[in-house]
Chain A
Amino acid sequence: MMKHLKSIFTLFIICAIVSVALAAVNGITAPIILERQNQAAAGALLEVMPDGGTFEAVDLSTYELPASVKEAHKASNGGFVIQVEWAGFNPGNVSMIGVSADGKITGTKTITVKDSGGNGKDSATEIPNMDANGHYVGADATTIDGVDTIGGVTVSTKAYRAAVKDALNAAIILGGGNVDLRDPAEILNANLNAALGTEGVEFDKHFVIEVLEGVDAIYVAKNGAGYVVVIGEEFIGLDADGNVLNGTNEVAANAIATIKATVVTDIDMSAYDFSKRVKSVQVTDAGVYILETEGSGFGKKGDTHSGATGEYLRIRIAIAADGTILDCRTVYLNESSYNGGKYGDVAANEEFYGQFAGKDQSNYENIVISGATFTTDGYHGAIKNAYKAIALINEGGAN
Chain B
Amino acid sequence: MEVFKSLLVIVLSSVLVNNYVLSRFLGICPFLGVSKKLDQASGMGVAVIAVMLIATAATWPIQKFILDPLGLGYMQTIVFIVIIASLVQMLEIVLKKFIPALHAGLGVYLPLITTNCAVLGVAVNNINDGYNFLESMVSSLGAGLGFLLAMVLFAGVRSRIDESKVPKPFRGVAITLIAASFLSLAFMGFGGIVDNLFA
Contact = CB atoms under 8 A, between A and B. Distances in A.
Do the two chains bind? Answer: yes
Interface of A: 18-19, 22, 26, 30
A19 B76 CA distance: 11
Nearest to B77: A22
B74 interface: yes
Contacts of A26: 74
Interface string B65-94: 000000000110010000000000000000
Contacts of B75: 19, 22
B74 A18 contact: no
A126 to B, nearest CB: 19
8 contacts: A18-B78, A19-B75, A19-B78, A22-B74, A22-B75, A22-B78, A26-B74, A30-B74
Contacts of A30: 74
A26 B75 CA distance: 10
B181 to A, nearest CB: 32
Nearest to B74: A26
A19 B74 CA distance: 10
For the residues of B in contact with A, the DSSP-based class is helix
A30 B78 CA distance: 17
For the residues of A in contact with B, the DSSP-based class is helix
A30 B72 CA distance: 11
Interface of B: 74-75, 78
B130 to A, nearest CB: 16
B21 to A, nearest CB: 30
Contacts, number: 8
Nearest to A18: B78
A298 B78 CA distance: 64
Contacts of B78: 18-19, 22
A18 B74 CA distance: 12
B135 to A, nearest CB: 18
Contacts of B74: 22, 26, 30
Contacts of A22: 74-75, 78
A19 B75 CA distance: 8
Contacts of A18: 78
A22 B75 CA distance: 8
A89 to B, nearest CB: 12
A67 B143 CA distance: 38
Nearest to A30: B74
A366 B74 CA distance: 64
B152 to A, nearest CB: 37
A19 to B, nearest CB: 7
A93 to B, nearest CB: 15
A340 B108 CA distance: 57
| Across the A-B interface, the 4 shortest Cβ-Cβ residue pairs | A26-B74, A22-B74, A22-B75, A18-B78
A271 B75 CA distance: 92
Given A18-B78, A22-B78, A26-B74, 5 more contacts: A19-B75, A19-B78, A22-B74, A22-B75, A30-B74
B118 to A, nearest CB: 25
A22 B82 CA distance: 15
Nearest to A29: B74
A138 to B, nearest CB: 36
B116 to A, nearest CB: 23
A178 B75 CA distance: 49
A19 B78 CA distance: 9
Nearest to A25: B74
A250 to B, nearest CB: 60
A46 to B, nearest CB: 26
A30 B75 CA distance: 13
A67 to B, nearest CB: 20
B42 to A, nearest CB: 35
Nearest to A114: B199
A311 B74 CA distance: 67
Nearest to A33: B74
A30 B74 CA distance: 9
A31 to B, nearest CB: 13
B26 to A, nearest CB: 24
A22 B74 CA distance: 8
A26 B76 CA distance: 12
A18 B75 CA distance: 10
B197 to A, nearest CB: 16
A18 B78 CA distance: 9
A241 to B, nearest CB: 59
A321 to B, nearest CB: 54
A283 B78 CA distance: 88
Contacts of A19: 75, 78
A26 B78 CA distance: 14
Nearest to B75: A22
A115 B75 CA distance: 41
A19 B82 CA distance: 13
B199 to A, nearest CB: 9
A260 to B, nearest CB: 57
B84 to A, nearest CB: 16
B92 to A, nearest CB: 19
Nearest to A19: B75
A26 to B, nearest CB: 5
A365 B149 CA distance: 61
A26 B72 CA distance: 9
B161 to A, nearest CB: 43
